[in-house]
Amino acid sequence: MLNSVFPKIHKEGYRFLAIAVIITFVCLLFSKVLGLITILLTIWVYYFFRDPDRVSIQDNNFLVSPADGLISNISEVSGPAELSLENKKFTKVSIFMNVFNCHVNRTPVSANVEEILYKPGKFLNASLDKSSEENERNYYRLKTNEGEDIIIVQIAGLIARRIVCEVNQTQSLNQGDRIGMIRFGSRVDIYFNNRKLLAKLGQNVVAGESLIAAK
């Protein structure tokens, strides 16, 4: 019960929370109104970096959402050229995370990390489709035991300036494991093929739990 109200926070948030607390104490010395504003800001920082436990289905017949947020786009596309998959067709589901969503990202399926590729770039609004080609981003190519390619792309947004990767190439992951986070507003794309889409455009999804597709 207590963990649902005060969830643990991601280690990336320690520094930001400490800064917010110090600023709050200083502001309270000079103004109650200003102090109240900074208290609310501190609460927001705490909840932004929250890292709650999630329970995944643990069934590779299903893909779970890699991120919390709103499904902003569903399309049939070629695979990322950055991973030499441009000649392969995929379904791409884009999940937009606003500043109130939990920003910890998770693996949608149990798989091995075959490739990780970081690409520097711009910081356009992450809800724009062109951000997947122009923004700072990090690619994860996951390979299941059945040889299936699942691609995850973390895309930095208008405010986000830091993509955090917490896994290594060749690492074995279980469905729902944490793979990293993106600080502040951003987007995560998932690419897959030969699966039935379960999610819908405009749906709010929960990382590690909401079902995106099935075999």
Alpha carbons 106 and 187: distance in angstroms, whole number? 13
Q: Please check whether residue 83 is in contact with residue 48, taking contact to mean a CB–CB distance below 8 angstroms.
A: no
DSSP 47-83: HHTB---------TTEEE-SSSEEEEEEEEEEPPGGG
Q: Please check whether residue 155 is in contact with residue 125, taking contact to mean a CB–CB distance below 8 angstroms.
A: no
Tokens of 135: 């923004």
Query: Which residues are catalytically annotated?
Result: 186
Alpha carbons 201 and 203: distance in angstroms, whole number? 6
**135: phi then psi, degrees, rounded to nearest 5:** -80, 165
Alpha carbons 168 and 180: distance in angstroms, whole number? 11
